[in-house]
């Protein structure tokens, strides 16, 4: 049985292990020293920017605010008195009824009172700002994690305390450490900034399922890691239903290039001896069919098919069965056969952008 090689444009896929990362991880912190009074969210739920999350105790801050306002009143009174003293002493000093030194002292007291009043105003403003911090709202939209401070816990002592963390999950990143070979496979397409290529990455999940949305290349690092021989990529994927979470593992797949007009043979039609690959082709002269030995160079495999890189033409009739019994030049009776291309069809279904994935 003999048939011509299958001629197809063969997509070359690059596939690299990846892990998912949130596009933003924002820590919600207590910026004042007080205790947690209420928790207003459900752990692991979705929150919107501005949603109230925590209520902190106002009592200690209200006491500090009241004290600051009392001090401010005293400082205002001190300034009023200093202003009066300056107004009273100035004409007397000019007429010589009082020493100039007394006026200088009054002016100095006035300046000190003004400075003290500004400090008092700042302390009041600071206490009012701290009072506003007792209402803790979500700084971004996303999924909020577990609470890290229970009701009644003292927070903010010495430095801001983390109360919870919010992760922005739509979109989500898939980060890969790609080998130099994988990088070089797609470098040519990246160089031309082909928009279709830059937005045609697929994500294969840990269970073998394909994420239903294609991703786009968001970042490529500036250098190859000399220790690991890899370079970092980050691909951004839509995550509308929030199924993907940070820390998951999968594989990012992209069509690196195409082998145009590649010749494909079933692996059973190729004989491999000591690293050399051979096939038998049928030649017909004067109505007599004979087999001829041909050495070929094979490339990548596509399921049970094999790409022929050189040594064969698209019109050659290649023996498909029983090649182990053949010898160069023997006569044969030829039956027509065909190359099963189901493996190639299966490969096409895995190309990012095929029917199993959509933008």
Q: What is the CATH number of domain 2-10+260-349?
A: 2.40.420.20
Instruction: Pull the structure tokens for residue 151.
Output: 């009701």
CB-count burial class (<10 Å; 0-12, 13-18, 19+) for 118: exposed
Residue ranges per structural domain of the chain: 2-10+260-349, 13-22+168-259, 58-133
- Residues 129 and 24: their CA atoms lie apart, in Å, by 27
Q: What is the DSSP letter of 325?
A: G
Instruction: Pull the structure tokens for residue 350.
Output: 């895995």
Chunked into runs of 10 residues, the chain (359 residues) has average pLDDT values of 86 88 91 89 90 90 89 90 88 84 88 91 90 90 89 83 90 90 76 69 89 88 88 91 91 85 88 85 79 87 89 85 74 77 85 59
Give the domain 13-22+168-259 fold: Elongation Factor Tu (Ef-tu); domain 3 (2.40.30)
pLDDT of residue 356: 46
pLDDT of residue 19: 93
3-state helix, strand, coil split of the chain in percent (to 5) is: 30, 40, 30
Q: Are strands 161-179 and 6-30 parallel, antiparallel or unpaired?
A: antiparallel
User: Which of 188, 174, 210 has the alpha carbon at shortest distance from 353?
Assistant: 210
Q: Is 211 helix (H, G, I), strand (E, B) or coil?
A: coil
Q: Which residues contact 127 (CB under 8 A, 6 or more apart)?
A: 61, 64, 65, 68
pLDDT of residue 359: 40
CATH 2.60.40 fits 58-133, yes or no: no
pTM to 2 decimals?
0.70
- Sign of the CA dihedral running 294, 271, 314, 337: positive
How many CB atoms lie under 10 A from the CB of residue 17?
Answer: 13
pLDDT of residue 22: 92
Please report, for residues 56, 66, 136, the alpha-carbon distance to residue 131 in angstroms, rounded to integers and kept in the order given.
9, 12, 11
């Amino acid at each position: 049985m003999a048939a011509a090689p299958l001629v197809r444009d063969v997509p070359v896929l690059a596939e690299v292990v990846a892990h998912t990362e949130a596009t933003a991880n924002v820590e919600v912190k207590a910026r004042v020293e007080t205790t947690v009074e209420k928790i207003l969210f459900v752990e692991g739920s979705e929150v919107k920017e501005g949603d109230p999350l925590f209520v902190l105790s106002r009592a200690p801050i209200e006491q500090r605010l009241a004290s600051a306002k009392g001090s401010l009143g005293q400082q205002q009174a001190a300034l009023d008195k200093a202003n009066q003293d300056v107004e009273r002493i100035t004409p007397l000093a000019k007429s010589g009824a009082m020493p100039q030194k007394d006026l200088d002292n009054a002016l100095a007291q006035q300046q000190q009172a003004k400075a003290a009043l500004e400090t008092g105003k700042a302390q009041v403003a600071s206490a009012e700002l701290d009072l506003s911090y007792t209402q803790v709202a979500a700084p971004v939209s996303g999924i909020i994690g577990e609470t890290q401070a229970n009701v009644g816990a003292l927070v903010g002592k010495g430095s801001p305390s983390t109360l919870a963390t919010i992760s922005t999950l739509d979109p989500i990143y898939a980060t890969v450490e790609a080998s130099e070979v994988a990088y070089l496979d797609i470098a040519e397409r990246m160089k031309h900034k082909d928009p279709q290529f830059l937005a045609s990455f697929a994500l294969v999940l840990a269970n073998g399922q394909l994420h239903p949305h294609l991703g786009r290349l968001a970042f490529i690092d500036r250098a190859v890691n000399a220790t690991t021989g890899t370079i970092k990529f980050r691909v951004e994927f839509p995550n509308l239903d929030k199924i993907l979470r940070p820390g998951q593992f999968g594989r990012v797949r992209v069509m690196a290039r195409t082998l145009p007009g590649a010749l494909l043979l079933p692996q059973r039609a190729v004989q491999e001896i000591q690293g050399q690959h051979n096939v038998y082709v049928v030649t017909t002269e004067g109505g007599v069919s004979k087999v001829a030995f041909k050495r070929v160079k094979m490339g990548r495999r596509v399921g049970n098919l094999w790409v022929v890189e050189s040594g064969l033409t698209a019109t050659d009739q290649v023996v498909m069965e029983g090649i182990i019994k053949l010898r160069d030049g023997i006569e044969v009776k030829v039956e027509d056969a065909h190359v099963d291309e189901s493996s190639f069809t299966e490969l096409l279904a895995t190309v990012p952008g095929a029917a199993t994935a959509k933008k």
